[in-house]
């Protein structure tokens, strides 16, 4: 087969460059990986079962074929993040997807930069950076959206638990009732708690696992109150009513604060994104005009200074508008 008509050299150079970026990024990620976090996956989410002597380990399913890409510590950390985002992916599948996005971003950037040139390699590096952090940003976005929905449902859930306790139900029966009446993500988390208790865990351990999946301050307050009541006794229904009132007031005040600061937060996003979009449009319209920014040391210094100032300005605006309640 004749490949003489194809530009194989630029494509091969893009792939080699993307591979080197992969080694750099994932090497740094492994060095900077945080401490190990406990994660529940499949039945291990509810109760760990040790393998008996002589028992053969279970065969790996279709979703576990990429698990060798990460070590156990890193796998646990990634699985925790995926569980918080409610993504049905294994850590190995997530890492494989991240590898694909880095390669795709590098190749696209290399092509947009004009092939084997300084501009092409710079664009390939930027594309690889975008591909490396895009899955992480998407996971964080899903985590934030799910956590906000969970916090908004928590007050009504506590009232439902309190009413069920007054009607004569036990705490576990009240949680089963709430899991049927409340919409996701609250119902899914309560169902996990009831299943964990059914598999042999204590209520305190199951609630602690729930808090690990949903790191909410309001949920931490609820779990602390339940644990204290379990130790010293008291009217749990009345305690839950007081907590529900506190949480509803926090949600109301937080909503008012977000409404008041909405314009400032939007201004921060616009000011951070506008220079990047404007530079990209100028590059498309007149690449020779803007290419002077990265063809000499003065231009590179201006780019670095501008990038640092944009990041610092965005962080300052976020800190000003991030008011804790």
pLDDT tens digits along 145-184: 998 888 888 888 898 999 988 888 888 888 888 888 888 8
Q: Are 306 and 240 in the same domain?
A: no
| pLDDT above 50 (res 1) | no
Q: Are 231 and 276 in the same domain?
A: no
| pLDDT above 50 (res 205) | yes
Please name the residue that has the structure tokens 């351990």. 205
Q: Tell me how many domains the chain contains.
A: 2
171 closest CA partner among 93, 112, 230:
230
Range scoring the smallest mean pLDDT among 46-60, 274-288, 308-322: 46-60
Q: How far apart are CA 96 and CA 307, in angstroms?
A: 30
Q: How far apart are CA 135 and CA 95, in angstroms?
A: 9
pLDDT score for 312:
92
Q: Are 296 and 212 in the same domain?
A: no
Q: Are 227 and 169 in the same domain?
A: yes
Q: Are 190 and 165 in the same domain?
A: yes
Domain ranges, residue 299 = 262-325
In a domain, 167, yes or no: yes
In a domain, 283, yes or no: yes
pLDDT-derived band at 14 (thresholds 50, 70, 90) equals: low
Q: Are 244 and 298 in the same domain?
A: no
pLDDT score for 26:
56
In a domain, 133, yes or no: no
Q: Are 297 and 308 in the same domain?
A: yes
Most confident of 45-49, 254-258, 321-325: 254-258
Range scoring the smallest mean pLDDT among 9-23, 159-173, 181-195, 301-315: 9-23
| Cis previous bond, 185, omega within 30 | yes
| Ramachandran class of 170: left when φ > 0, alpha when ψ lies in -120 to 50, beta otherwise | beta
pLDDT-derived band at 15 (thresholds 50, 70, 90) equals: low
| pLDDT mean over 110-123 | 74
In a domain, 143, yes or no: no
pLDDT digits (tens, 9 = 90+) for 33-74: 443 444 444 444 444 443 344 444 444 444 455 555 556 667
In a domain, 72, yes or no: no
pLDDT score for 129:
87
Last residue of a domain, one of 234, 260, 286: 260
pLDDT score for 121:
78
pLDDT score for 72:
66
What average pLDDT is seen over the chain?
Answer: 78
In a domain, 71, yes or no: no
In a domain, 321, yes or no: yes
pLDDT score for 30:
52
| pLDDT mean over 226-253 | 86
pLDDT score for 148:
87
In a domain, 51, yes or no: no
Range scoring the smallest mean pLDDT among 60-64, 164-168, 237-241, 271-275: 60-64
Range scoring the smallest mean pLDDT among 37-41, 184-188, 211-215: 37-41
Q: How far apart are CA 226 and CA 149, in angstroms?
A: 22
CATH number, position 183: 1.20.81
Q: Are 297 and 320 in the same domain?
A: yes
Q: Are 158 and 209 in the same domain?
A: yes
Q: Are 177 and 254 in the same domain?
A: yes
pLDDT-derived band at 289 (thresholds 50, 70, 90) equals: confident
| pLDDT above 70 (res 19) | no
Last residue of a domain, one of 216, 235, 260: 260
Q: Are 270 and 189 in the same domain?
A: no
Q: Are 224 and 295 in the same domain?
A: no
């Amino acid at each position: 087969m004749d490949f003489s008509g194809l530009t194989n050299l630029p494509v091969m150079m893009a792939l080699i460059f993307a591979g080197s970026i992969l080694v750099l990024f994932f090497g740094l990620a492994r060095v900077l990986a945080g401490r190990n976090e406990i994660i529940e996956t499949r039945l291990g989410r509810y109760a760990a079962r040790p393998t008996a002597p002589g028992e053969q380990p279970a065969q790996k399913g279709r979703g576990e074929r990429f698990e060798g890409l990460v070590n156990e510590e890193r796998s646990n950390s990634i699985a925790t993040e995926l569980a918080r985002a409610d993504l049905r992916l294994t850590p190995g599948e997530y890492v494989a997807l991240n590898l694909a996005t880095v390669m795709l971003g590098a190749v696209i950037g290399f092509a947009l930069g004009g092939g084997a040139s300084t501009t092409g390699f710079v664009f390939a590096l930027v594309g690889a950076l975008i591909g490396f952090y895009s899955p992480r940003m998407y996971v964080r976005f899903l985590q934030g959206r799910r956590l906000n929905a969970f916090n908004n449902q928590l007050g009504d859930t506590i009232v439902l638990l309190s009413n069920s306790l007054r009607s004569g139900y036990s705490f576990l029966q009240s949680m089963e009732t709430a899991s049927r009446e409340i919409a996701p993500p609250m119902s899914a988390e309560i169902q996990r708690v009831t299943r964990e208790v059914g598999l042999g865990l204590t209520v305190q351990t199951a609630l602690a696992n729930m808090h690990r999946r949903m790191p909410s301050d309001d949920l931490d307050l609820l779990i602390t109150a339940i644990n204290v009541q379990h130790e010293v006794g008291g009217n749990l229904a009345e305690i839950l009513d007081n907590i529900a009132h506190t949480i509803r007031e926090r949600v109301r005040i937080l909503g008012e604060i977000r409404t008041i600061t909405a314009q400032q937060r939007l201004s921060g996003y616009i000011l951070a994104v506008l220079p990047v979009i404007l530079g990209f449009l100028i590059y498309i319209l007149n690449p020779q005009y803007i290419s002077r920014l990265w063809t000499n040391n003065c231009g590179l210094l201006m780019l670095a200074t501008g990038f640092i100032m944009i990041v610092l300005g965005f962080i300052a605006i976020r800190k000003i508008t991030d008011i804790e309640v």
